[in-house]
Structure 1
Amino acid sequence: MSESFRRGLRAGVPFSLVGFLLAMSFGVLAVQAGFSALQAIVMSAVVHAGSAQFAAAAILGAGGGLVPSVLAGSLMNARFLAMGIAVAPSLRGGPGRRALQGQTVVDPSWALANQGDGSFDRHLLMGATVPQYVGWVTGTVAGAFLGDVAGDPDRFGLDVVFPVFFLSLLAAELRDPRSRGVALAGAMIALALVPFTPPGVPVLAAGTAALVGLAR
C-alpha cells in the first residue's frame, strides 16, 4: 500500500462521516418512497452518487415514472463525464483496469487528488474513495433498516441535510455571472412546469438551461 493511498484513506474519513448521514437519510426516504430495503442498499452499492439517488427516489416517490427518474439521475451525474476526461490521462493499465479505477471518481476524491497542474494522484483518488464508499453503503443500510425505528426523518432534521448540501454547492457556483443566469433560467423553467407536468419533468426541463449555458 503506497503512502499516497494511505493519505487518501485518511483524507476520505471526514467525508465518509458526512456521507454516512446523507446515506442514512437516503435509506429512510427511499423506503418511504416505495423501495425495499434491499433495493435501496443495492442502489447505493452500484450507483454511489447521492444527488442522482435522491433525485431518482424523489421522482419515484412523487409518482413519476421510471424513465423520468433515470433521466434525472443521469443528468445529475453528467458532471462525471467531464471529471473522467480530466482524470483519464493519470490512470494506468489497460482499458478494463482504467475503467475500474475510474469508478473511484467522486467529487471530494477528485478534488483531493487534483495536483493543480492538470494531473491527478490516482492512488490518493482511490484511497479517498474507499472510506466514502463504505460510509455511503453502511449509512444506507442503517437508514433502510432503522427507518421504522427512526420514524419520520423530519424529527431529526435528516430531511434538510441534502437540500442544504445542494444549496452549498449552488452558492459556490453562483460566484460566476453566467452560472447565475443559468440557475435563474432553470428555476423559472421548473416553477413554470410544476403545476402542469408529471413529477420529474420540471427537473429534466430545468436541466436544459444548464446545457444551453454550457454550449454558449
Structure 2
Amino acid sequence: MAEQTATPPATAPATLGTADTKSDAAVVRDALGVGSAVGLSGFAFGVTSAGAGLSLLQTCALSLLVFTGASQFALVGALAAGGNPFTAAAGAFFLGTRNAFYGLRLSQLLALRRFARPFAAQWVIDETTAVALAQPDRRTARIGFTITGLTLYLLWNVTTLLGALGAEAIGDTDAWGLDAAGPAVFLALLAPMLKSTTERATAALAVLLGLGLLPVLPAGVPVLAAALAAPAVLFFRGFRGRSKTSKTSQRQEDAR
C-alpha cells in the first residue's frame, strides 16, 4: 500500500514540468522563422523609400537608426504624397510610441543588465515582443528576443539596401506599380494581428478616418487623425459596458 500511494506524487511533477518547458532549439526555430519572414519585407521599404525621393543614404539610415517598419512606411508614404516633413515625422513618431509600452513590459520580463538595455531597446518592436512574450520563462524569452531581433535587424537592413538599389536601377517605381508595395506589406503584417472584435473595429475606423480625410487634409495629417480611432472605440466600448451594467442593476431592482 505504501508503494502504491507514493507513485502518483512522483510522476505528477515530471508531467507538469515537461508541459511548462520549451527546448532552446524550438525557440530558436520560431525566432528565426519570424525574423526571416518579416526581415525580407525590408525590400519593399527600400523600393518605397527610393520611390518617394529619398536618397540611398537616407533610406538606409532610416532602417539602421529608426528600425520600426510601420513608422518607416508611414514616413516615406507621407513624403511621397507631398506631405510636410514635420507632419510626416509626427505621424511616424506617434506610430512608434507603442514600442515604449512594449519596452515597459519587456524590461520586467527580460531583466537585462544596464549596459545591455540601450542596445536591446533598438530591437523592441512588434515581432520581438511577440516572440519573447510567447515563451514560458525568462531564459527562453531572452533567447527568443535576441534571435528574432538579430535576424530581423540584419535582414531588414540588407533587403532595404537591395530594394533601394533596385528602385534606382529600374527608375520610375510608379510605372511598375511598386509604390503600392509598402502599404501591401504593411497590411499583410497587420491583418493576422487583428484577432479581437475591438482590434478589428479600431482598424476599420482608422481606415475610414484616413481615407475619408485624405481629400480634405494635407498629406500626413490623415495618419494622425486615424490615431483617434483607438480612443473612440475604447470610449464606445466603455459606454456600452456601463450601459449594460446599469440595465442589469435596474432589472435586479425591479425584481426585488
- Name the TM tier (shorter chain): 0.7 to 0.9
1:123 equivalent in structure 2? 143
2:212 equivalent in structure 1? 192
1:48 equivalent in structure 2? 67
- Give the Cα–Cα distance (whole angstroms) in 1 for the partners of residues 31 and 226 of structure 2: 32
Contact residue 174 and residue 180 of structure 1 kept, 8 A: yes
User: Does 1:176 pair with 2:177?
Assistant: no
Q: Which amino acid aligns with 2:111?
A: L
**Identity score, percent:** 30
3-state DSSP of counterpart to 1:121: helix
Residue 177 of structure 1 deviates from its aligned partner by: 2.7
1:88 equivalent in structure 2? 107
Residue 170 of structure 1 deviates from its aligned partner by: 4.5
Q: Cα deviations across residues 126-182 of structure 1 (Å, max 9, x unaligned)?
A: 122111111010111111122233455578775555434433455445442333433
Count of matched residue pairs? 212
Name the larger-Rg structure. Answer: 2
- Give the Cα–Cα distance (whole angstroms) in 1 for the partners of residues 113 and 165 of structure 2: 40
User: Does 1:65 pair with 2:87?
Assistant: no
Q: Which amino acid aligns with 1:179?
A: E
RMSD over aligned CA atoms reads 2.9
Q: Cα deviations across residues 93-114 of structure 1 (Å, max 9, x unaligned)?
A: 22x4323223222222222222
User: Does 1:145 pair with 2:169?
Assistant: no
Q: Which amino acid aligns with 1:14?
A: G
Unaligned segments of structure 2, at least 5 residues: 1-22, 239-256
Contact residue 12 and residue 132 of structure 1 kept, 8 A: no
Contact residue 9 and residue 129 of structure 1 kept, 8 A: no
**Which residue, out of 119, 122, 126, partners 1:103?**
122
Residue 45 of structure 1 deviates from its aligned partner by: 0.5
More displaced 10-residue stretch of structure 1: 68-77 or 104-113? 104-113
Residue 54 of structure 1 deviates from its aligned partner by: 0.8
Q: Cα deviations across residues 178-198 of structure 1 (Å, max 9, x unaligned)?
A: 334333432332233211111
Contact residue 186 and residue 206 of structure 1 kept, 8 A: yes
- Give the Cα–Cα distance (whole angstroms) in 2 for the partners of residues 18 and 154 of structure 1: 25
Q: Which amino acid aligns with 1:65?
A: N
**Which residue, out of 39, 44, 47, partners 1:28?**
47
**Which residue, out of 191, 201, 208, partners 2:228?**
208
